[in-house]
C-alpha cells in the first residue's frame, strides 16, 4: 500500500519536473438519465353486482355415468361453484386481462399443471398462451377418462399417470365424461400474458401492463358471468386502480339426461315400479278380425347426449365472450 501511494505521489509531482505535464485522465462516462418505464401497474377488485346471486354450473347428471369411488369425499354444492364469493362480494377465480394494445412481446411456452385430487380437477381455471402445455396428473386411485373440448378425449389415466398436450384452442373445458365425473377446469388461451386471476377479496394485480397513447380496455371474464370492461389510459410508470362488477350470465337449461340402456343398446322404459304402460287395443277389421299392421315400431332413441357449455372463440388480444 505504501509503495502504491508513493507511486501515485510521484506521478502527481511530474508536472513540476522537466518533462511535459501529463494529461488528466478522462472522467468516467456518465450514465444517461433512465428512460421512463414502458409498463404500468394495473390493480383493483372484481365484485359481484348488488342483488345478484353466485351462479352455478349445470348439474349434467347422466344415469349411465358411474358414481365417484367411495374413497372420495361426497359431492358438495361448492363443486358446482368454480367462483367463490367473500364477505365484501369480491369474486375469487375470475380472469382479468387487457385488450386493444399492441406490440407485446411473446414469452417462451410454459407448462400448466392440473391434477385430479379427491376425484376433483384443480385448479378450476387455467389461463395460457398459444403454444403452452397442459400437464394433467391423476392423484386419485381410480382410472379417469378425461376429455378436452368437443371430441378431444384423452387416454384413461391411472393413479400417478400424466398426460401432456399443447394448447391451441381459444376456450375449452376439461372434464371426465364416460368414467366417473371429476369436476371441470375451464382453459382459456390468450395471445399475450397481460392477465391475472382474482385472489382473496376479488383483488388482482397486473405488474407489466403495456402503456399506450390511446385508451385500452380492461376486461373481467368468466364463462358463468357477463363480462365487464373499463376503458383506461395507461401511461408509463403509472399505477391505476380499477373496480369491475360482474353479473351472472343467463342460466343455461339443464342438459337432458341420456336414456337408460339395456346391454343390447335398447332403451329401458321409464315407468313406475309395479306398473305397466297401458296399451291400445289392436285395430279391428270387418267382422271383428284384427288387422295386420306393419313391423313392430322400434323404441325412441332418446334424447341426445348433453353437450358441453358453449363459449364463443375470442379474437386476438380480446376475451372470449360467453354464449
Q: Using 50, 70 and 90 to split pLDDT, how confident is the model at 70? A: very high
pLDDT, one tens digit per residue, over 85-139 is 998 999 999 999 998 877 666 789 999 999 999 999 999 999 999 899 999 999 9
DSSP string, 285-321: -GGGPBPP--SPPPPP--PPPPPPPPBPPPPTTSPPP
What cell was used for 50? 348488488
For the chain, residues classed under CATH 2.60.40.420 are 107-190
Q: Are 38 and 211 in contact (CB under 8 A)?
A: yes
Query: 6's torsion region: left (phi>0), alpha (psi -120 to 50) or beta?
Result: alpha
Sheet holding 239-248, edge to edge: 203-210, 39-48, 239-248, 225-226
Residues in Cβ contact with 174 at an 8 Å cutoff, skipping those fewer than 6 apart? 114, 121, 134, 136, 146, 147, 148, 184, 185, 186, 187
The secondary element (H helix, E strand) that includes residue 9 is: helix 2-12
pLDDT, one tens digit per residue, over 9-64 is 333 343 333 443 334 444 344 444 445 457 899 999 999 999 999 999 987 656 67
pLDDT, one tens digit per residue, over 134-163 is 999 999 999 999 998 776 767 899 999 999
Question: What CATH code is assigned to 107-190?
Answer: 2.60.40.420
Q: Are 7 and 14 in contact (CB under 8 A)?
A: no
For the chain, residues classed under CATH 2.60.40.1120 are 36-69+77-105+192-263+308-314
Global pTM exceeds 0.85: no
Q: Using 50, 70 and 90 to split pLDDT, how confident is the model at 247? A: very high
What cell was used for 85? 364469493
Question: What CATH code is assigned to 36-69+77-105+192-263+308-314?
Answer: 2.60.40.1120
Whole-number pLDDT of residue 206: 96
Amino acid at each position: 500500500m505504501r509503495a502504491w501511494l508513493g507511486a501515485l505521489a510521484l506521478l502527481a509531482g511530474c508536472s513540476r519536473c522537466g518533462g511535459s505535464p501529463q494529461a488528466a485522465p478522462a472522467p468516467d462516462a456518465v450514465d444517461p438519465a433512465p428512460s421512463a418505464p414502458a409498463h404500468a401497474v394495473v390493480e383493483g377488485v372484481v365484485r359481484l353486482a348488488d342483488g345478484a346471486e353466485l351462479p352455478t354450473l349445470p348439474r349434467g347428471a347422466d344415469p349411465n355415468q358411474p358414481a365417484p369411488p367411495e374413497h372420495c369425499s361426497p359431492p358438495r354444492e361448492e363443486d358446482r361453484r368454480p367462483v367463490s364469493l367473500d364477505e365484501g362480494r369480491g369474486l375469487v377465480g375470475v380472469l382479468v386481462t387487457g385488450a386493444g394494445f399492441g406490440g407485446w412481446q411473446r414469452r417462451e411456452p410454459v407448462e400448466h399443471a392440473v391434477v385430479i385430487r379427491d376425484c376433483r380437477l384443480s385448479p378450476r381455471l387455467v389461463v395460457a398462451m398459444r403454444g403452452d402445455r397442459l400437464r394433467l396428473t391423476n392423484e386419485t386411485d381410480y382410472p379417469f377418462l378425461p376429455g378436452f373440448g368437443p371430441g378431444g378425449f384423452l387416454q384413461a389415466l391411472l393413479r400417478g399417470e400424466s398426460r401432456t398436450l399443447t394448447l391451441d384452442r381459444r376456450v375449452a373445458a376439461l372434464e371426465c365424461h364416460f368414467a366417473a365425473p371429476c369436476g371441470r377446469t375451464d382453459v382459456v388461451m390468450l395471445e399475450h400474458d397481460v392477465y391475472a386471476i382474482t385472489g382473496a377479496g376479488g383483488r388482482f394485480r397486473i405488474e407489466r401492463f403495456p402503456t399506450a397513447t390511446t385508451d385500452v380496455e380492461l376486461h373481467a371474464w368468466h364463462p358463468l358471468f357477463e363480462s365487464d370492461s373499463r376503458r383506461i389510459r395507461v401511461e408509463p410508470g403509472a399505477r391505476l386502480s380499477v373496480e369491475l362488477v360482474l353479473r351472472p350470465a343467463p342460466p343455461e337449461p339443464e342438459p337432458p339426461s341420456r336414456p337408460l340402456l339395456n346391454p343390447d343398446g335398447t332403451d329401458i322404459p321409464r315407468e313406475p315400479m309395479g306398473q305397466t304402460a297401458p296399451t291400445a287395443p289392436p285395430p279391428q277389421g270387418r267382422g271383428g278380425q284384427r288387422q295386420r299392421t306393419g313391423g313392430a315400431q322400434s323404441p325412441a332413441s332418446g334424447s341426445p347426449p348433453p353437450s358441453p357449455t358453449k363459449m364463443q372463440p375470442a379474437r386476438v388480444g380480446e376475451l372470449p365472450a360467453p354464449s
